[in-house]
Amino acid sequence: MSAAARLSFAAFALSLLVACGSPAPDPADDSAGEAEARELGRDTDKTVLDDMIQTEDRARDVEGVTMDAKRDLDEAIDAQTGGAGDESGGN
C-alpha cells in the first residue's frame, strides 16, 4: 500500500470518527426527562412502547368522554320517561 493510499485511508477513518461524535448531553435535559418519567409513573423517560402507551392513554381519554356522554344521555332519558328506565328488570 502506498503512502498516499495510507494517508487517504487514515483521513477517511478520522473523518468518520469525528462525524460520529456528538456533544455531551445537557444536564438540564436529563432533569426534565426524569420529571416527565416520574409524572408518567415510570423509572425511565422513554421506552420502545411509548407510541402504544400514548395510544392507550388517548383511548382512555376518549372512553371517559364517551362515558360522560352516555351518562348525560341516560339522565336525559330518565328525565323524559319520569325515571322509568331499564332498572325495573322487566322483559
pTM score, two decimals?
0.36
Q: Mean of the pLDDT values across residues 43-67?
A: 83
Residue count of the chain, please give it. Answer: 91
Q: What percentage of the chain carries pLDDT values higher than 70?
A: 64
Tell whether the model's pLDDT for residue 59 goes beyond 50: yes
CA 66 to chain centre: 22
Cα–Cα distance measured from residue 90 to residue 47, given in angstroms and rounded to the nearest whole number: 51
pLDDT, position 38: 67
What is the pLDDT confidence band of residue 90, given thresholds at 50, 70 and 90?
A: very low
Where exactly are the structural domains of the chain? 47-84
Is residue 44 within 8 Å of 37, Cβ to Cβ? yes
Q: What is the largest CA-CA distance in the chain?
A: 98
Q: Mean of the pLDDT values across residues 75-79?
A: 92
For 29-48, what is each residue's pLDDT tens digit?
656 666 666 666 666 667 78
Closest CA to 36 of 50, 25, 48, 23: 50
For 10-35, what is each residue's pLDDT tens digit?
888 888 777 777 676 666 665 666 66
